[in-house]
Amino acid sequence: MKILVTGGTGYIGSHTSVELLNSGYEVVIIDNLSNSDASVSDRIGRITGKTPPLYIGDVLDEALLDQIFSEHKIDAAIHFAALKSVPVSMADPLLYYHNNVTGTLSLCRAMKKHGVKNIVFSSSATVYGISDDRPIGEDAPLSPKNVYGNTKLMMETVFSDLYHSDPEWNVTLLRYFNPIGAHESGLIGEVPEGIPGNLMPYITQVAAGLRPHLNITGTDYDTPDGTGVRDYIHVVDLARGHIKALQNLSGLGIYNLGTGRGYSVREIVNAFEEATGIKIACEEAPRRPGDLACYFADASKANAMLGWRTEKTLHEMCADSWRFAKGYYK
């Protein structure tokens, strides 16, 4: 089977491409390199022995998509290509709606034109917004609190409407929790642009000496150690969830991909120090507006219906994150 991976040189797309190739799928990548580098497809080749063809271009470019679907007999798409910064999405909503939502419409039109009706889509736990449900199940209320989350919910709506208009479509929406870690080879991983908004890239930049300390934003939450709790998932486990989703594509499916347990900021810092032997200087800072105390997945639906469960430990998440970052920042 041949899979079109949009955003395939990005963080999650590259790890998923590796897992696809290792599982015997063929992969074709389209990426505009707005947040990644062309060398990633060679790195995928070094890991798997198979370098996937990379089309450098935009999913908004329907002529290019037309060309790809004409040149390859694509069986399904996995759609990662999107912009993902919450603060930038608030500052420039038109950019985000255009890139993420219009880009998705463009992809769906091209797929429809070429009779390809199988898709796995990268959604996000941000679609849930603020919720007191813990753990968060797929039927929790949907109420994104920022423009990025709005684009994700809109794209989910596009896919669900498409399915209801034509049940020949098979659509799986995957709501990711907090991916961290990297491939154990150290060849691919997460490269944050500018000041990282997420915890692990910030920690690795402190470890690499690029930042003086980590600000722990919020130490008075109602959690065991007062710091925020999130469901961190190893990116390789997450990538493997996409293989299971492809194998089980049938009708409209919606699944959380998380470990089902939360770790606090302090637990992550301690685990990172233990895994790497590097001390992370921390300073306490006020809460960030809009942050929740505690947020983790009910992943039982994906466990039961996709036969998927996470295997990697927190130690591996930290050690693998650092192995990649160390090589990248040296």
Ligand X SMILES: NC(=O)c1ccc[n+]([C@@H]2O[C@H](COP(=O)([O-])OP(=O)(O)OC[C@H]3O[C@@H](n4cnc5c(N)ncnc54)[C@H](O)[C@@H]3O)[C@@H](O)[C@H]2O)c1
Residue nearest to ligand X (CB): 10
Q: How far is the CB of 103 from ligand X (least distance, A)?
A: 4
Residues in contact with ligand X, shown as a per-residue x/- string from 155 to 184 under the rule CB under 6 A: ---------------------x-xx-----
Residue 88 engages ligand X in binding (rule: CB under 6 A) = no
Check if 25 is active-site. no
Q: Judged by CB, which is closer to ligand X: 152, or 323?
A: 152
What span, in angstroms and rounded, lies between the C-alpha atoms of 57 and 217?
38
Residue 103 engages ligand X in binding (rule: CB under 6 A) = yes
Residue 218 engages ligand X in binding (rule: CB under 6 A) = no
Residue 144, helix vs strand vs coil: coil
Residue 241 engages ligand X in binding (rule: CB under 6 A) = no
Q: How far is the CB of 121 from ligand X (least distance, A)?
A: 8
The residue whose two tokens read 């690795």 is 204
What span, in angstroms and rounded, lies between the C-alpha atoms of 325 and 208?
8
Q: How far is the CB of 14 from ligand X (least distance, A)?
A: 8
Tell which one of 17, 18, 20, 58 touches ligand X (CB under 6 A).
58
Q: Which of 137, 283, 131 is nearest to 219 (CA)?
A: 283
The residue whose two tokens read 């992550």 is 268
Residue 81, amino acid: A
Residue 59 engages ligand X in binding (rule: CB under 6 A) = yes
What span, in angstroms and rounded, lies between the C-alpha atoms of 330 and 326?
6
Q: Which of 11, 25, 148, 202 is catalytic?
A: 148
Residue 302 engages ligand X in binding (rule: CB under 6 A) = no
Q: How far is the CB of 220 from ligand X (least distance, A)?
A: 25
Q: Judged by CB, which is closer to ligand X: 145, or 226?
A: 145
Q: Judged by CB, which is closer to ligand X: 168, or 180?
A: 180
Q: Judged by CB, which is closer to ligand X: 8, or 218?
A: 8
Q: Whats the size of the chain, residue-wise?
A: 330
H helical segments located in 97-179? 103-113, 147-165
- The beta-strand segments (E) located in the chain are 2-6, 26-31, 54-56, 76-79, 118-124, 170-176, 178-180, 214-217, 229-230, 232-234, 252-257, 263-264, 282-285, 294-295
Q: Judged by CB, which is closer to ligand X: 166, or 193?
A: 193
Site for ligand X in 24-43 (CB under 6 A): 30-36
Q: How far is CA 79 from CA 16, 76, 200, 214, in A?
A: 11, 10, 24, 33
Residue 105 engages ligand X in binding (rule: CB under 6 A) = no
Residue 324 engages ligand X in binding (rule: CB under 6 A) = no
Q: How far is CA 6 from CA 76, 246, 255, in A?
A: 11, 15, 20
Catalytic site positions: 148
Residues that bind ligand X (CB under 6 A): 7, 9-13, 30-36, 58-60, 80-84, 99, 103, 122, 124, 176, 178-179
